[in-house]
């Protein structure tokens, strides 16, 4: 199981790191001080630059303008892009668009791919995904109230969603809604339906304030309402009742994407921490790096990041070669383990920076606010830990948990 870049990726990743260091990291101060929208004209220029450099949509096949990378290959690209909050957006492989692209590529019909996937792949539009509801536990994806009722040649949607990330400015949402309420199988009740944002009855209630930030456009989490929102039946993805299965299929690669992005964050935070320790004086001639407590923290971070990468790459290779179901335990393992490594590395990096670490003079406080949710979304730690434990205990003939 290779974890170092292959010959195919060694030089491109080096060029990508140089591009981020010289052209993207300097933009982060504007993001922190003025917000995403202030950067949009510059980001469009950088996106054109990304296309010139050959880094566009690395997850997509070449006939859609992408690089055609395998999941393990893209995982290594995702780590490098994760070193900046802007990295994935610039290469058009940001969540939730990447998941929607993968879903439409695998299960969209020809009309859906032409109308929605191609402009998304070209970076001409953005999208969002609406599943979680404020009235129900987000960790239970089969417990939904949003309904899509057939009326003639259309679905009429009514319901309430929140944490539809990046909904502001998106062209369409992929919505999980109950289409088969009478079925006995909880996993066959919901479907996934494409809902253009401009459809009458689609209402963006608000961008939710998260850790003191309302956010905007790509960096936002919306509460939305569907009020007699009518869309053609042709907007159904796959078959009725496949919503849960499609969501689970989407989540496997999605967790690889997230975990490698988190490792990229860890590497950047680790580098900033070490730079600070190596240059900050506690007293004349006495560096932070001379302190045993600092040294131990650096050592622990280095080991934890390396271990996390090995786990994620193992899961990526298994998912690529054996499929989502075969890799489900490994996917749950990395989800809670890497999320917690991320929290510990960021916390140590901030501690080493002292008061500077909690200011927006560094990128650390941004990540500390935005990535605390890593232990909650795509399944909270507790759900994944219980699943892993149950699977382990089956080998000991404990079947009734």
Reported as a single tens digit per residue, the pLDDT across 271-280 is: 999 999 999 9
Length of the chain: 401
How crowded is residue 209: how many other Cβ atoms within 10 Å of its Cβ? Answer: 10
The dotted CATH code for 245-394 is 1.20.140.10
Q: What is the pTM of this model?
A: 0.95
Taking 80 as the threshold, does the pLDDT of residue 6 lie above it?
A: no
Could you tell me which residues are beta bridge partners of residue 287?
281
* Res. 7 pLDDT band, cuts 50 70 90: confident
> 31-40 pLDDT, tens per residue?
999 999 999 9
* Res. 30 pLDDT band, cuts 50 70 90: very high
Specify the pairing of strand 219-232 against strand 215-216: antiparallel
Taking 80 as the threshold, does the pLDDT of residue 72 lie above it?
A: yes
Q: Per residue, what are the HEC states of the chain?
A: CCCCCCHHHHHHHHHHHHHHHHHHHHHHHHHHHHCCHHHHHHHHHHHHHHHHHCCCCCCCCHHHCCCCCCHHHHHHHHHHHCCCCCHHHHCCCCCCHHHHHHHHHHHCCHHHHHHHHHHHHCCCCCEEEECCCCCCCCCCCCCCCCEEEEECCEEEEEEEEEEEECCCCCCEEEEEEECCCCCCCHHHCEEEEEEECCCCCEEEEEECCECCECEECCEEEEEEEEEEEEEEHHHEECCCCCHHHHHHHHHHHHHHHHHHHHHHHHHHHHHHHHHHHHHCEEECCEEHHHCHHHHHHHHHHHHHHHHHHHHHHHHHHHHHHHCCCCCHHHHHHHHHHHHHHHHHHHHHHHHHHHHHHHCCCCCHHHHHHHCHHHHCCCCCHHHHHHHHHHHHHHCCCCCCC
Q: Compute the average pLDDT of residues 286-308.
A: 97
> 120-147 pLDDT, tens per residue?
999 999 999 999 999 999 888 899 999 9
Could you tell me which residues are beta bridge partners of residue 229?
157
> 144-179 pLDDT, tens per residue?
999 999 999 999 999 999 999 999 999 999 999 999
Please state whether the peptide bond connecting residue 96 to the residue before it is cis, i.e. omega within 30 degrees of 0: yes
Q: In the chain, where are the structural domains located?
A: 7-121, 127-237, 245-394
369 close to 360: Cβ distance less than 8 angstroms: no
Task: Classify domain 7-121 at the CATH topology level.
Answer: Butyryl-Coa Dehydrogenase, subunit A; domain 1 (1.10.540)
Q: Compute the average pLDDT of residues 302-330.
A: 97
Q: Compute the average pLDDT of residues 207-222.
A: 94
What pLDDT does 63 receive?
96
The dotted CATH code for 127-237 is 2.40.110.10
What pLDDT does 397 receive?
79
Q: Compute the average pLDDT of residues 301-316.
A: 98
> 282-295 pLDDT, tens per residue?
999 999 999 999 99
What pLDDT does 139 receive?
85
Taking 70 as the threshold, does the pLDDT of residue 303 lie above it?
A: yes
- The residue to which tokens 């300097």 are assigned: 26
Taking 70 as the threshold, does the pLDDT of residue 102 lie above it?
A: yes
> 326-354 pLDDT, tens per residue?
999 999 999 999 999 999 999 999 999 99
What pLDDT does 4 receive?
65
* Res. 101 pLDDT band, cuts 50 70 90: very high
Taking 80 as the threshold, does the pLDDT of residue 400 lie above it?
A: no
Taking 70 as the threshold, does the pLDDT of residue 395 lie above it?
A: yes
């Amino acid at each position: 199981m290779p974890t170092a870049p292959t010959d195919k990726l060694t030089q491109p990743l080096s060029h990508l790191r140089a591009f981020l260091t010289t052209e993207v990291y300097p933009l982060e101060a504007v993001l922190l001080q003025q917000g995403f929208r202030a950067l949009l004209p510059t980001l469009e220029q950088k996106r054109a630059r990304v296309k010139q450099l050959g880094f566009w949509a690395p997850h997509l096949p070449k006939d859609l303008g992408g690089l055609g990378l395998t999941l393990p290959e893209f995982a290594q690209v995702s780590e490098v892009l994760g070193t900046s909050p802007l990295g994935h957006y610039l290469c058009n492989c940001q969540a939730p668009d990447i998941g929607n692209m993968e879903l439409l590529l695998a299960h969209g019909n020809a009309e859906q791919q032409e109308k929605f996937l191609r402009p998304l792949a070209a970076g001409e539009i953005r999208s969002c995904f609406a599943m979680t509801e404020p009235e129900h536990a987000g960790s239970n994806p089969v417990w939904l109230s949003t309904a899509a009722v057939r009326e003639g040649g259309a679905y009429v949607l009514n319901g309430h969603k929140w944490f539809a990330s990046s909904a502001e400015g998106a062209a369409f949402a992929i919505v999980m809604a109950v289409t088969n309420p009478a079925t006995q199988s909880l996993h066959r009740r919901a479907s996934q339906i494409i809902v253009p944002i401009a459809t009458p009855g689609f209402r963006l209630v608000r961008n939710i304030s998260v850790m003191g930030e309302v956010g905007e456009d790509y960096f936002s989490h919306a509460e939305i309402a569907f009020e007699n929102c009518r869309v053609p039946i042709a907007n159904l993805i796959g078959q009725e009742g496949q919503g849960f299965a499609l969501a689970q299929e989407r989540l496997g690669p999605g967790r690889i994407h997230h975990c490698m992005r988190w490792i990229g964050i860890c590497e950047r935070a680790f580098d900033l921490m070490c730079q600070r320790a190596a240059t900050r004086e506690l007293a004349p001639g006495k560096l932070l790096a001379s302190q045993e407590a600092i040294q131990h923290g650096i050592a622990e971070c280095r080991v934890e990041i390396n271990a996390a990468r090995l786990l994620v790459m193992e899961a990526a290779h298994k998912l690529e070669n054996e499929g989502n179901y075969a890799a489900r335990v490994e996917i749950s393992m990395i989800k809670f383990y890497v999320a917690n490594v991320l929290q510990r590395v960021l916390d140590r990096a901030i501690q080493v920076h002292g008061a500077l670490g909690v200011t927006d003079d560094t990128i650390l406080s941004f990540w500390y606010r935005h990535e605390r949710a890593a232990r909650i979304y795509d399944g909270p730690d507790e759900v994944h830990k219980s699943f892993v434990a149950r699977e382990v205990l089956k080998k000991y003939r404990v079947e009734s948990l």
